[in-house]
Chain A
Amino acid sequence: MAKGAGSRETFLPAQYQPPLPLDQLIIQDGAAGAGDRMELDVVIVGAGPAGLAAAIELAQLARRDGTELNIGVLEKAAALGEHSLSGAVVNPRAFRELFPDLQEGDFPFRGPVRKEAVYLLTADRRVRLPVPPTMRNHGNSVASLCEIVRWLGEKAAALGVNIFTGFPAASLLVDGPRVVGVRTAATGLDRAGRPLANYLAPNDLVAKVTALAEGTRGMLAQAWCEWRQVTAENPEIFALGVKEIWETKRALGTIVHTLGWPLPSDAFGGSFMYPLAPNLVALGLVVGLDYRDSALDVHGLFQRMKRHPLFRRYLEGGEMVEWGAKTIPEGGYYSVPTRRSGDGVVMLGDSAGFVDVPSLKGIHYAMQSGMFAARAVFAALKHGDPSAVRLGDYDRMVNASFIMQDLYRTRNMRLAFKDGFYAGALKAGLMTLTGGRFPGGRIAMPRDADVARRLTPGLRPGSGEIPDGRLTFSKVDGVFKAGNATRDTIPTHLIVGRDVPSEAADFYARLCPAGVYERIDSGLRVNAPNCIDCKATDVLGPRWTPREGGSGPKYKRM
């Protein structure tokens, strides 16, 4: 029976969060339990823009140099791009650098940004704001990250990179302080963890260098940082974005961002609406996970948001064709770990926190970090020395580049919002005017899990509005449109704290956009197959761990 614990007015997520399962995520090389063992020069975990750009750059360097490099990319999605979700408005500069021989028109973009608008919303009105400099997108293009990833994957495969889709890396293999590779997750277990007829044992992939490009809230990256005690000035903080793709009757020609409604004033976030094609619209709502009201439900707010005339005029009469959600690392400059490299390992993209929040950009930083990592790794391999010292070149390259410059310029902007929207907006405005110098120093941030949440007694998840199935949708509708058809009988991959009280159960139920958690009379029900790997609960509650390959969403144009 779930019982109330802690104080009645507030709830502290950290109190019920299990620790990171380090013993599971980091294992000694040679530990029992693996099937095949394969040797590679470089193994890259995650086929996102970061991992694939790293693979392409490495393969290009090797080709130019006339050396043979055995490069493998592990991706947990069943096919390339199926776990990729972004906005996305893309800054093409990393593409230009990675593919100097290609023209702008060759890149996998849907079209250049022509017009943009920013609105402040109230429940039924909107006020157009001047576009802040940090949000200007002239010269950028609208794209689908799924399409970008498939395109990058083809380029990588053509260069001889081995891409293994459906193979999540479940653990880092280590030898002393060195990372020597990864072990993949087993496939074909029943709910109790017993092997089925088609059981496929985990594989060990050993490599001279392991690149962690797992994206947001990477499990192996977290584990490595904790194990090697690599920290940052601020903890990493996150936002959750819920997104849909619509086929619309009315064409959209502008990229739109909104602030304000339907968010409460003590939550940070905003929405986006981008045309992938005139009648194919991507829209979403992003909310910082340091929100104060324990009853906040990002999916629910997003559904409500679509009823606003600004969105409704496009969506009504159209069809929602895809749904998804993902977290975004939002800490920025001060949350980037002091080191992103170590013995035999580098950390790229979102896993290292290379995201600029005011401009909502991460793709080109991810790719650029992958390219820098490739250069450092290649040089280290040439010297036969993939040690922390050599791979430290990667950190130096990143530090000297636009990645850290951009993040430095907006270093306190997101942090300013920790005390609410209006104060934050004012401070952010001043920061922009002063080129990031105001207010000077660093605003300290707590971990999201350490932010106390207000409880509203009597309010239970699901007591909100009833979705109409046309404009608004339930969470399980969403999960269906995410293409999630995960096998029902795989072992659960979510580690839930013991004896979670009812307020935690309610909190998880609202937080999770996929309806994984249900508060039932006897406590908490965990529908693990619903999970679409957004990692929100890993930030605030139950831990996410890698599960059978190919589980989770099957995004197509996210």
Chain B
Amino acid sequence: MSDVLAVLEQREGALRKVSSEVVTGARRLADGLVGRVEALVLAAGSVQGIDHLGGFGADQVVTLTNGAFGRYAPEAYTRVIADRAQAGGYRAVVFAASATGRDLAPRVAARLGVGLAQDVTDVAVEGGAVTVIRPVYAGKALLKLTLTATPAIVSLRPNVFTPVQRPKAGSAETVAVHAPAGRVVVTAIKAAAAGTLDVAEAPIVISGGRGLKEPANFKVLEELAAAFGGRAAVGASRAVVDAGWRPHADQVGQTGKTVSPTLYIAVGISGAIQHLAGMRTSKVIVAINKDKDAPIFKVADYGVVGDLFEVVPRLTEEIKKLHG
């Protein structure tokens, strides 16, 4: 009883990026438990991208197929995964704390009658026990927990478990399974319109403040965002939202949105505490400001002192080169 089940996600037959993070987290547990990682994905047919998972530390990848598994089917997924978890005698089951994982993990846990730690940012095995760290109180504190029941069920916060290359001779297997019809049916998925990436969701956020001088100048930031190829959203400080330059939906801060992207670039923003309250948990913060005493430099991992109208275009140029 030392194996770990990693529950992966696919959309339209393609493995989602978060899956490699799940395998990475599961591998960390399995190493501590001296066990194997079995990765599981539910799909309508074969799944693109699973062959890479061995490289992140999966010993085996199992695809369970059923015509109803194309889209998320809460009840069928719950039953199939819970059955598998029980039959396999796993010590831990790892999900992604994605929209699907956060829905699925509690059902599986309740079905198995064991506790669940959602949205964890760290997992470990200490003295044989599975421990996790979870941000609580809006990230103002970290809770360290141990999961005493078996299997220990955890979901991993996306974008935290950086996938680590760990070659394993992973075997792949596809099994068609029977599943009960569920009452809850996902009838459609409406894709978000292109270019409307919400600041709260985007992995990269570029925010502009009063330093941009006038609304038209936000073009400079939009060009930088475009250079990141659709992964970046443009945010704003309250000062520019108040002035009517940007919509309130783009405001980052205490009374706007709280964001936690991998990369946050603050441009022409002084870094008032109310602004920081909305972005201080970003993984990496970059600040571009012409005032070297601006408080934003106290929290920026990397600061550039200078005129944004010179620095940002240059940055855009270089990013474009990088992304070819």
Report A-B touching, CB under 8 Å. yes
Report A's interface with B, CB cutoff 8 A.
Answer: 466, 469, 474, 476-477, 479-480, 485-489, 527, 529
Partner of A488, one of B242, B273, B277, B293: B242
Among B39-47, B223-231, B248-256, the one that faces the other chain is: B248-256
A-B contact count (CB 8 A): 29
| Residues of A close to B242: CB separation below 8 A | 488, 527
B276 — nearest CB in chain A belongs to which residue? A480
| Residues of A close to B298: CB separation below 8 A | 469
A466 — nearest CB in chain B belongs to which residue? B293
Instruction: Tell me the smallest distance from the CB of B49 to a CB of chain A, in Å.
Output: 43
**9 interchain residue pairs of minimum CB distance:** A480-B273, A476-B272, A488-B255, A477-B273, A466-B293, A480-B274, A485-B254, A485-B255, A476-B273
Taking each of B241, B273, B277, which has the highest tally of chain A beta carbons within 10 Å of its own beta carbon? B273
B295 and A488: CB pair below 8 A?
no
A477 — nearest CB in chain B belongs to which residue? B273
Give Cα distance in the complex from A401 to B287, angstroms. 62
Instruction: Tell me the smallest distance from the CB of B235 to a CB of chain A, in Å.
Output: 14
B255 and A486: CB pair below 8 A?
yes
B255 and A487: CB pair below 8 A?
yes
B241 and A488: CB pair below 8 A?
yes
A526 — nearest CB in chain B belongs to which residue? B242
A469 and B256: CB pair below 8 A?
no
Instruction: Tell me the smallest distance from the CB of A175 to a CB of chain B, in Å.
Output: 40
Chain B 244-279 near chain A by CB (<8 Å), digits 1 or 0 = 000010010011100000000000000011100100
Instruction: Tell me the smallest distance from the CB of B161 to a CB of chain A, in Å.
Output: 33
- A-B pairs with beta carbons under 8 Å apart, 16 shown: A469-B298, A474-B272, A474-B295, A476-B273, A479-B274, A480-B254, A480-B274, A480-B277, A485-B255, A486-B255, A488-B238, A488-B242, A488-B255, A488-B256, A489-B248, A527-B242
A528 — nearest CB in chain B belongs to which residue? B242
A476 and B274: CB pair below 8 A?
yes
Chain B 284-320 near chain A by CB (<8 Å), digits 1 or 0 = 0000000001010010000000000000000000000
Give Cα distance in the complex from A476 to B237, angstroms. 14
Give Cα distance in the complex from A109 to B248, angstroms. 44
Report B's interface with A, CB cutoff 8 A.
Answer: 238, 241-242, 248, 251, 254-256, 272-274, 277, 293, 295, 298
| Residues of A close to B274: CB separation below 8 A | 476, 479-480
Give Cα distance in the complex from A476 to B270, angstroms. 12
B274 — nearest CB in chain A belongs to which residue? A480
Give Cα distance in the complex from A488 to B253, angstroms. 11
B238 — nearest CB in chain A belongs to which residue? A488
B298 — nearest CB in chain A belongs to which residue? A469
| Residues of B close to A485: CB separation below 8 A | 254-255
A530 — nearest CB in chain B belongs to which residue? B274
Give Cα distance in the complex from A529 to B295, angstroms. 21
| Residues of B close to A488: CB separation below 8 A | 238, 241-242, 248, 251, 255-256
Instruction: Tell me the smallest distance from the CB of A516 to a CB of chain B, in Å.
Output: 12
Give Cα distance in the complex from A476 to B248, angstroms. 20
A469 and B255: CB pair below 8 A?
no
Instruction: Tell me the smallest distance from the CB of B43 to a CB of chain A, in Å.
Output: 41
Instruction: Tell me the smallest distance from the CB of A287 to a CB of chain B, in Å.
Output: 25
Give Cα distance in the complex from A8 to B27, angstroms. 74
| Residues of A close to B295: CB separation below 8 A | 469, 474
Instruction: Tell me the smallest distance from the CB of B48 to a CB of chain A, in Å.
Output: 43
| Residues of B close to A529: CB separation below 8 A | 255
| Residues of B close to A527: CB separation below 8 A | 242
Give Cα distance in the complex from A480 to B254, angstroms. 9
Taking each of A466, A477, A480, A488, which has the highest tally of chain B beta carbons within 10 Å of its own beta carbon? A488
A515 — nearest CB in chain B belongs to which residue? B272
| Residues of A close to B255: CB separation below 8 A | 485-488, 529
B295 — nearest CB in chain A belongs to which residue? A469
Give Cα distance in the complex from A480 to B295, angstroms. 15
Give Cα distance in the complex from A477 to B254, angstroms. 12
| Residues of A close to B241: CB separation below 8 A | 488
Give Cα distance in the complex from A487 to B254, angstroms. 10
Give Cα distance in the complex from A47 to B89, angstroms. 62
Give Cα distance in the complex from A485 to B277, angstroms. 11
B277 — nearest CB in chain A belongs to which residue? A480
Give Cα distance in the complex from A489 to B247, angstroms. 11
| Residues of B close to A476: CB separation below 8 A | 272-274
Instruction: Tell me the smallest distance from the CB of A224 to a CB of chain B, in Å.
Output: 34
Instruction: Tell me the smallest distance from the CB of A529 to a CB of chain B, in Å.
Output: 7
Give Cα distance in the complex from A529 to B274, angstroms. 12
Give Cα distance in the complex from A477 to B272, angstroms. 7
B255 — nearest CB in chain A belongs to which residue? A488
| Residues of A close to B251: CB separation below 8 A | 488
A480 — nearest CB in chain B belongs to which residue? B273
Further 6 A-B residue pairs, CB within 8 A, beyond A474-B272, A485-B254, A487-B255: A466-B293, A476-B272, A477-B273, A480-B273, A480-B277, A489-B248
Give Cα distance in the complex from A480 to B253, angstroms. 12
Give Cα distance in the complex from A302 to B13, angstroms. 64
Give Cα distance in the complex from A225 to B243, angstroms. 38
Instruction: Tell me the smallest distance from the CB of A494 to a CB of chain B, in Å.
Output: 14
Give Cα distance in the complex from A529 to B242, angstroms. 11
Instruction: Tell me the smallest distance from the CB of B250 to a CB of chain A, in Å.
Output: 12
| Residues of A close to B272: CB separation below 8 A | 474, 476-477
| Residues of B close to A487: CB separation below 8 A | 255
Instruction: Tell me the smallest distance from the CB of B305 to a CB of chain A, in Å.
Output: 15
| Residues of B close to A489: CB separation below 8 A | 248
Give Cα distance in the complex from A527 to B242, angstroms. 8
A476 — nearest CB in chain B belongs to which residue? B272
Instruction: Tell me the smallest distance from the CB of B296 to a CB of chain A, in Å.
Output: 12
Give Cα distance in the complex from A486 to B256, angstroms. 11
B256 — nearest CB in chain A belongs to which residue? A488
Give Cα distance in the complex from A469 to B254, angstroms. 18
| Residues of B close to A477: CB separation below 8 A | 272-273
| Residues of B close to A480: CB separation below 8 A | 254, 273-274, 277
Instruction: Tell me the smallest distance from the CB of B174 to a CB of chain A, in Å.
Output: 50
| Residues of A close to B254: CB separation below 8 A | 480, 485
Give Cα distance in the complex from A476 to B296, angstroms. 14
| Residues of A close to B238: CB separation below 8 A | 488
Give Cα distance in the complex from A486 to B241, angstroms. 15
A529 — nearest CB in chain B belongs to which residue? B255
Give Cα distance in the complex from A367 to B149, angstroms. 58
